[in-house]
Amino acid sequence: METEQKSDNRKEDPANFEKAMDTAGFGIFNLLLLIVASFAAFASVFETTTMSYLLPVAECDLKMTLFDKGILNAATYAGMITSAIIWGYLADTLGRRKILISGYLADALCVLSSSLTQNFQMLVIFKFFGGFIVNGPGAVLFTYLTEMHGAKHRPRVLMVVGMINSVATLVLPLIAWAIFPRDWDFVLFNTLTVHSWQIFLVVCGLPSLLSGLGFIILPESPKFLMSQGRNAEALRSFQKIYAINKRKPRLTYPIEELIEEVPNRTSSGNELVLTVESKPVKPKYKRKSKTFPQALHESMQQIKPMFKKPLLGHSIHVYALQFCIFLGLNTIRLWLPQLFASIGEYEALDTSNKGSANLCTILEYSVNKTSMTNDFKDKCSERPQVSMTLYTNNIIVSATSFVGYCLAGVIVKTLGAKRLLTFGLLISGFFGIGLYWSVSGLTTLIISSAFLTVTSVSTSSLLGILINLFPTALRSLVVAIAMMFGRLGALSGNMLFPIFMEMGCIQPFLMVGFVIFAASALSCILPSGKKLTLT
C-alpha cells in the first residue's frame, strides 16, 4: 500500500518544449500573436517597397535623375546588408521580444523622420537607416513565430505569414492609389513643405508603430529562455499562453518543471550566454553584468559552431540558396512597376503595332526616353501624372500571390516543405525565362504574376526548413545572415539586369531563369525536413 501511495504522489517528469507548448494549447493567444505579427510583416514589406511607388510622384520635388532613383532604391537594401550579423547576434543573446519591440518602434521613428525630409540626400540617409533597423526585427519575426508554436501548427503559421506579406503588397498600391492623386500640398510651421508622397510615408509607418507596441504585451519566446537556462521565465511564458488560450488561471497550468536543455558547446570560464543552471525553476543569483571584452568573447564562442561541421556546410548551402532566390525574385519584382508603366505608355503611343511589340522593344524605348530627360524646369512645370496601370496591375499581381499562398497552405502538409520548395523553384525558372516571349501587357501580367507567386511561396518554405536545421542559440543569427545574402542577391540582380540588357534581350531573362534553376537544384540536396522538433 505504501509503495502504491508513493507512486500516485510521484511528480511528473520535466516536460520538453514540444510537450509544454502542446499543453499550453492553440487559441486566442495565437490569434493575438498573428495580429501583431501581421502589423510587423506589413512594416517589413512597406520599408522595402514604398520607394517603387514614390519615385514617379516625388521625382520633381526631390529633383531625381535616373541614377538618383537607383540610389534611393538601393539605400534600404544597403542598410539591411550592413546590419544583418549585428541583429542576429543581439537576438540570440538579448532575446527575441526586446529586438521586436525596440526594432519596430525605432523603424516607426525613422519612417516618420523620412516623411519630413525636404531633399533627396536626407531621404537616402533615412532609408538607409530604415533598412538597417528593420532587417533585425524582420528576420527575428520568423524565429519568434516558430518558437511560439508547436510542431503541429508551425508549417502552417509560416505560410500564414507569407499570405500576410501578400496582403501587404496588395494594400500598398491601394494606399498609394488613395493618396497620390490628392492635391495635399501645404506648408507646416512655415518651414516644412508637405506633399502627398510624404503623407503616404506617414501612413506606411503606422504598422511599425502598432507592431512595436503590440509586442510589449506578448511574452518572450519560451524556447529561447530554455536555451539560456532560464527555465523559470520560460515556465511563466507557457503559463501566460495557457491562461489566455484556456481562459484559466496561470497557476492551473499542469506542467511544473521543464527539462534542462543541454548547450550545444561546452561553457568555459565565467561565460553565461549558453550556461544551463543546475536547477531549472528559480535562479538563486542574479547574472552579473558583462564587460565589452567578455561580451565580445562570448559572441565569438557563440558563433564558433558556425565554422565547424555540420553547421558550416548547412550555412553555405542555405546562403547560396537564399542568394539565388532573392536575385531572381526581387529583380523581377522591383522592375514590375517600371514594366507596367512602360507597357501602358508604349501601347498608348504605338497603337498600330502594340500587339506585336515584345517586352524588349518596350523596355528599350522606356530606358532611352528616361535617360534623355534631365531638364526639371520644363518637365516639372505641371503636376506629374502616373498611369493607373501602375497600381491596378500590381494589385492583380499581389492578389494572385495571396491566392497562391492559400493553396500552398493546403498542400504543404501533403507535399512537404522540401518538395514544395524544389518543384516550385523549378516551375518559377521556366516562368522567368518565359517573360522574354511576352508580347503585350496582358501576357506580362500573367507570366510575372505566376513567377512572383510561385517563387514567393517557395521562399516561405525555405525559411521553415532553414529554422529547423540550426540550434536555437544560433537560429536568429543564421536567419539574419541568410536574409543578408538574399538582399545581396537582390542588389546584384538589379545591377546586372540593365548590363545584360545592353548585351541583348534574352540575356537578362536567362539570368533570372537560370539562378532560379540553380536554387531548385540546391534545394534537392537539402537535409530532410521530416523532423520538425526544435533543438
| From 43-47, 254-258, 297-301, 429-433, the region with the lowest mean pLDDT | 297-301
pLDDT digits (tens, 9 = 90+) for 92-136: 778 888 899 999 999 999 999 888 888 888 888 998 998 888 888
* Biggest CA pair distance of the chain: 100
Tell me what pLDDT residue 188 has.
73
Q: Are 326 and 484 in contact (CB under 8 A)?
A: no
Nearest Cα neighbor of 172 from 503, 401, 385, 445 is 401
Q: Is the pLDDT of residue 337 over 70?
A: yes
CA-angle at 223, arms to 217 and 471, nearest 5°: 135
Q: Is the pLDDT of residue 178 over 70?
A: yes
Q: What percentage of the chain has pLDDT greater than the value 90?
A: 11
Nearest Cα neighbor of 361 from 376, 347, 372, 371 is 347
Q: Is the pLDDT of residue 192 over 80?
A: no
Q: Are 318 and 466 in contact (CB under 8 A)?
A: yes
Q: Is the pLDDT of residue 368 over 80?
A: no
Tell me what pLDDT residue 453 has.
86
Q: Evaluate the omega torsion of the peptide bond into residue 310 and state whether it is cis, within 30 degrees of 0.
A: yes
Tell me what pLDDT residue 87 has.
77
pLDDT digits (tens, 9 = 90+) for 11-31: 567 888 888 888 888 889 989
Average pLDDT of the chain is: 76
Q: Is the dihedral of CA 370, 363, 327, 412 positive or negative?
A: positive
Q: Is the pLDDT of residue 165 over 70?
A: yes
Q: Are 450 and 514 in contact (CB under 8 A)?
A: no
Helices and strands in the chain, H and E counts: 20, 2
Tell me what pLDDT residue 456 has.
80
CA distance 464 to 501: 35
CA distance 363 to 368: 8
Phi-psi region of 504 (alpha: psi -120 to 50; beta: other; left: phi over 0): left
pLDDT digits (tens, 9 = 90+) for 50-92: 887 787 777 777 877 766 776 777 788 888 888 767 776 777 7
Mutual orientation of helices 441-467 and 154-179 as an angle, nearest 10°?
140
Tell me what pLDDT residue 365 has.
66
- Would you place residue 203 in the very low, low, confident or very high pLDDT band (cuts 50, 70, 90)? very high
Q: Is the pLDDT of residue 262 over 60?
A: no
DSSP label at residue 188: E
| From 182-186, 234-238, 344-348, the region with the lowest mean pLDDT | 344-348
Q: Is the pLDDT of residue 273 over 60?
A: no
pLDDT digits (tens, 9 = 90+) for 462-520: 766 776 777 766 766 777 677 778 888 887 877 777 677 667 677 888 888 999 999 98
Nearest Cα neighbor of 99 from 479, 401, 454 is 479
Domains of the chain: 11-260 (1.20.1250.20), 299-373+385-535 (1.20.1250.20)
